[in-house]
Structure 1
Amino acid sequence: MNSYDYIVVGAGSAGCVIVNRLIRAGKSVLLLEAGHADNTPFIHIPATFVRVLGTKRTWNYKTEPEPGANGRVMHVPQGKTLGGSSSVNAMIYIRGQAEDYDAWRDAGCPGWGYEDVLPVFRRSEANQRLAGFYHGTDGPLRVSDTHYRHPLSYAFLRAAQETGIDYNDDFNGAEQAGAGFYQTTTFNGRRGSTAATFLAGVKSSPLLTLHTQAMVEGLILENGAASGVLYRHANGEVKSARVREEVIVSSGGIGSPKVLLLSGIGPAEQLSRFGIPVIRDLPGVGENFQDHISASVYGATKDPISLFGNDKGLRAARNGLQYLLWRTGLLTSNVVESGAFVDTSGSGRPDVQLHVVPALVGDADRAPPQIHGISLNPCVLRPTSRGTISLKDRDPATPLAIHANNLATQQDIDTLVRGVELCRRILRAPSLKKLIAKELAPGEADILDRSAIENHCRQFAKTVFHPSGTCRMGSDDNAVVDAKLRVRGVPRLRVADASVMPTLVSGNTNAPSIMIGERCADFILAQG
């Protein structure tokens, strides 16, 4: 049985960061990734990421039927490849609000306030344009402006300003509120996943052992402490590996609680029901599930100016040739180029984020209208609904039961309704109105009653693929990890990814997950 200083389970947004920092510190690391290598061009060409969703390089998770979404099942794809979700997301670089992290600190996570995490964000970042107090320029993570910007994205920004939303040139600076273009984790016209940045920097090191298509079936625990892992290769062979120092589980908001549960760490009642020996009764494992929920507002354009059809025929060939020859054009876009953060409740901080797509977008089980148009997608930034993740049986291959419980509170549906109403106003502002033939959804009429908009929200609600909170950090009895990401009551075991977030950050989760990976490595290395 091989042994290593550290074993990292999951080569995702946080896992690749941890590996980079440990290898550079002279530690030997075994990195286990359940998915394939990131060796398809559709991952690395920014605009083609949608072709990866739903393939073997994503976990195609589904929720149980959602009462808050008219009984529908929601789809939550997550990365199943090197780089994890940083290899399949829309590359938007957002950190969240200072208040998010101060709330973590005040909820029993000392050392996680904004003043604590901002230097870590800066250390990771190599920003193309920004520097100073809020931004770094020398880190592994490449952050840049998109070279291609669609005319409908510009029209949205003008229309947003016409409705009274200020322009914001840096959502990660002093103020998040406003409308603007997103910065992205891209460089030289290519995706900058954590695999292409952090992991690539140490991939040739003799201290790193990397296995893809290696499904972890459980942790090896001796005297209640982590001492290794059991994992299954694609050929069905089960192997084990020992660790001299620690195991770090970094499998995401859905994958990490599964690893703990299969290992006997979680609610004793659930584990006993499936005949899993209880190593540590931790009721919080799988609880506190949160995700960002959105509902699209569709506008059909008068002329064929959207992205519709650009992936077919001569237009696709032209786009591909331009990208191959000059690394310019539409394929360098992350598609979701522009957006906004807006305070719709008067609370003093944005509660709705807009993701704008210069095309009509559907969902995994729902095709959009096959015409030219624009999608304005408001999402609830700080959901109050909470769900749970649990096992269905003790077989590692069986999908989890995800009772997401989205839109379960009146506050969440009220926020989403306000977001949809805001998008309808933006769609009717002069800069978009002159391009839009009609609103397709929720409805063409300028005024819709509240019940029609709420029904639209519930019927078209979808996740923004940010599952979080299921291995919550804290100091209370229901917390899963402490403020240094150590699993409570299980020595030599940590969790580091979006699952440790006590509350979901106000924005996209990739950058915060990278920061969590950085902090985990700091905690480990500070021990000597």
Structure 2
Amino acid sequence: MNQTFDIIVIGAGSAGCAVTARLARDTSATVCVLEAGPSDATLAVKIPFGLIHLMGHPTRDWRRETLPMTGVNGRRVKVPRGRMLGGSGSINSMVWFRGRRADYTAWQQPGWDADTVWSAFSDVEEAIRPAPLPDPHPLSTAFGASIGGALTPETVSSGVFTTNMRHGQRFSAADGFLRPACKTGRVEVVTNAQVATLRVANGRAHAVTLIDGREINARAGIVVSAGAIESPAILLRSGIGPATELARLGIAITADVQEVGANLHDHPAVPLHHAGDAGGYGLTLSDLPGWALAPARYVISRKGRLSSNMVEAGAFLSSDGGDEPDLQVHFIPAKLGWQGKMVVPGKGYTADVAVCRPKSRGRLSLTSADPREAPAIDLGLFKDESDLLTLERGVTRLRDLLDKPCLSAWRAPEAFPGRDTQGASLRDHIRNRAGTSYHPVGSVGMGRAVDHRLAVHGVRNLWVADASVMPSITSANTNAPAMMIGWHGAGFISEDIRRTA
């Protein structure tokens, strides 16, 4: 491979693919995209139902987990992160939301106001073309009718999810952005290329070193788009972060940027499990013919069980019963296990409720300068007790929703934790069982570690463009906002590159 390019993009996930496409469109630069994992060329990625095999996969998921956290009674919480072309957008449930306009107003960053961001989303959606889930289970359709209205985090509402599928297959940022960009002839994608450190000389980022020792040079600059876990880890290993912390690990200081790794947060969530004779997709003797015919139906029509993204419908609720939602529900028309295994025999359904705008904050740090060692992840769950109380009220609101008459034909009893779990026992249950929606953000925040043009403080020719730059999390799933950040941020980066050329 060529060892020198104009620009290096680290990470071929949802944001990195969008960054690459914008750079290829707006500049004449040569671009090298470095992806730590393999290609996404596998049926488990393309077939929506294949996601059940991807989370926890030994080579396609980073398989990160948190430190023991006080707010969840000393538990570790899983943090699945995609490790292949498409990134986490190749292992997620493909749910598509922009968020609320007020989310971006709250960022208070020049060039990221709601009107500007909405225009960038339009560009992204022209490439991705999200659409309603094509063949939801009737139970999901019934749940979607429990409130009705257009499903949006702007209002209390419910419905079947819009997803980034095309013709019944996952259509990730790698499909919508990266592959078209490669057709320019100026983009080279290198898989299985994990970055160890950035090389900085005289205050300017100019190269990266891979864990196998290879060095790749960048004439114009480097864009880090490795996500809210890996992006700060790369910066920290490169000496960009809190000087005292880095010195303890023997890492030479490149730039003392205190906020690298800070402000890490996610949507805290807790599920309700229903099990009985009724429900959605099941693992029972009566369901075996349906599963046996599912592959043929999918091949012929791209519909049926294998076209399900599992998380088929949802709702936005208000914890205080008002008009402004602060909770999101994900509805899965299948019984999931609550004792360690996800796929279990029987019928039922599962719904989780998440806090849309959590106040708790954590931090990512290093335990070692060795890139093969996982970073220390603290999501700070329930450090602010208001998040716990909001989630407690959210469980009550979700139970009310699941009692709606439109679900009567499908209703199964709440098997875990059970309707008698209320008050203090419910709060204990949440601390013992809550996880997240797998939407980590904020660890290289705008106005903190990078400026509004996504340039890293203290280092020239270095930018970060992914969900890590969010000052605060958006009020729903973060895959679409990550693509928007990559696309819109690359507009600033392209201007900076042309100005300094």
TM-score by length of 2: 0.94
Give the CA RMSD over aligned residues.
Answer: 2.0
Distance 1:63 1:258 in 2: 14
Give how far 1:369 is off: 5.6
> Corresponding residue for 1:35?
37
Which range is displaced more, 426-435 or 187-196? 426-435
Q: Secondary structure at the match of 2:4?
A: strand
Give how far 1:155 is off: 2.5
1:124 aligns with 2:103: no
Give how far 1:470 is off: 0.4
Per the alignment, do residues 408 and 216 of structure 1 end up closer, same or farther by CA in structure 2, a change over 3 Å counting?
Answer: same
Give how far 1:404 is off: 1.7
Q: Secondary structure at the match of 1:80?
A: coil
Residue by residue, what CA displacement relative to the aligned partner does 1:268-295 show, whole Å, maximum 9, x if unpaired?
Answer: 0111001100010011111111011111
Distance 1:399 1:295 in 2: 26
Q: Secondary structure at the match of 1:43?
A: helix
Distance 1:278 1:31 in 2: 26
State whether residues 225 and 492 of structure 1, in contact with CA within 8 Å, keep that contact through their aligned partners in structure 2.
yes
> Corresponding residue for 2:167?
188
Residue by residue, what CA displacement relative to the aligned partner does 1:438-471 show, whole Å, maximum 9, x if unpaired?
Answer: 21122144xx431122122122201111111000
TM-score by length of 1: 0.90
> Corresponding residue for 2:199?
220
State whether residues 169 and 181 of structure 1, in contact with CA within 8 Å, keep that contact through their aligned partners in structure 2.
no
Per the alignment, do residues 212 and 343 of structure 1 end up closer, same or farther by CA in structure 2, a change over 3 Å counting?
Answer: same
One-letter amino acid matched to 2:150: D
Give how far 1:69 is off: 1.4
> Corresponding residue for 1:520?
489
One-letter amino acid matched to 1:498: A
> Corresponding residue for 1:8?
9
Q: Secondary structure at the match of 1:16?
A: helix
> Corresponding residue for 1:472?
445
Distance 2:404 2:151 in 1: 23
Distance 1:443 1:170 in 2: 28
Q: Gapped runs of 5+ residues in structure 1?
A: 126-138, 162-166
Per the alignment, do residues 379 and 111 of structure 1 end up closer, same or farther by CA in structure 2, a change over 3 Å counting?
Answer: same
State whether residues 486 and 494 of structure 1, in contact with CA within 8 Å, keep that contact through their aligned partners in structure 2.
yes
One-letter amino acid matched to 1:319: A
One-letter amino acid matched to 1:152: L
Residue among 218, 225, 229 paired with 1:254: 229
State whether residues 94 and 309 of structure 2, in contact with CA within 8 Å, keep that contact through their aligned partners in structure 1.
yes
Per the alignment, do residues 180 and 246 of structure 1 end up closer, same or farther by CA in structure 2, a change over 3 Å counting?
Answer: same
State whether residues 227 and 243 of structure 1, in contact with CA within 8 Å, keep that contact through their aligned partners in structure 2.
yes
Distance 1:94 1:304 in 2: 27
> Corresponding residue for 2:386?
411
Give how far 1:50 is off: 1.4
One-letter amino acid matched to 1:74: V
Q: Secondary structure at the match of 1:295?
A: strand
State whether residues 310 and 316 of structure 1, in contact with CA within 8 Å, keep that contact through their aligned partners in structure 2.
no
> Corresponding residue for 2:429?
456
1:96 aligns with 2:136: no
State whether residues 426 and 432 of structure 1, in contact with CA within 8 Å, keep that contact through their aligned partners in structure 2.
no
> Corresponding residue for 1:114?
114
1:87 aligns with 2:87: no
> Corresponding residue for 1:129?
none
> Corresponding residue for 2:128?
141
Residue by residue, what CA displacement relative to the aligned partner does 1:378-406 show, whole Å, maximum 9, x if unpaired?
Answer: 00111111111110011010001112221
> Corresponding residue for 2:253?
278
> Corresponding residue for 1:211?
190
Distance 1:295 1:382 in 2: 15
**Which residues in structure 2 correspond to 1:67-466 (within 5 Å)?**
67-105=70-108, 109-125=109-125, 139-158=126-145, 160-161=146-147, 167-171=148-152, 175-232=154-211, 237-303=212-278, 305-308=280-283, 314-345=289-320, 348-362=323-337, 365-367=340-342, 370-445=345-420, 448-466=421-439
Distance 1:349 1:303 in 2: 33
Distance 1:251 1:363 in 2: 31
Distance 1:386 1:271 in 2: 21
Residue by residue, what CA displacement relative to the aligned partner does 1:85-120 show, whole Å, maximum 9, x if unpaired?
Answer: 111110000111111100002xxx112111120000
One-letter amino acid matched to 1:259: I
Identical amino acids, percent of aligned pairs: 38
Give how far 1:203 is off: 2.5
Give how far 1:425 is off: 1.4
Distance 1:273 1:362 in 2: 42
Give how far 1:314 is off: 4.5
State whether residues 75 and 364 of structure 1, in contact with CA within 8 Å, keep that contact through their aligned partners in structure 2.
no
Give how far 1:431 is off: 2.6
One-letter amino acid matched to 2:23: L
Per the alignment, do residues 366 and 319 of structure 1 end up closer, same or farther by CA in structure 2, a change over 3 Å counting?
Answer: closer
Q: Secondary structure at the match of 1:243?
A: strand
One-letter amino acid matched to 1:179: S
Q: Gapped runs of 5+ residues in structure 2?
A: none
> Corresponding residue for 1:485?
454
Aligned length: 494
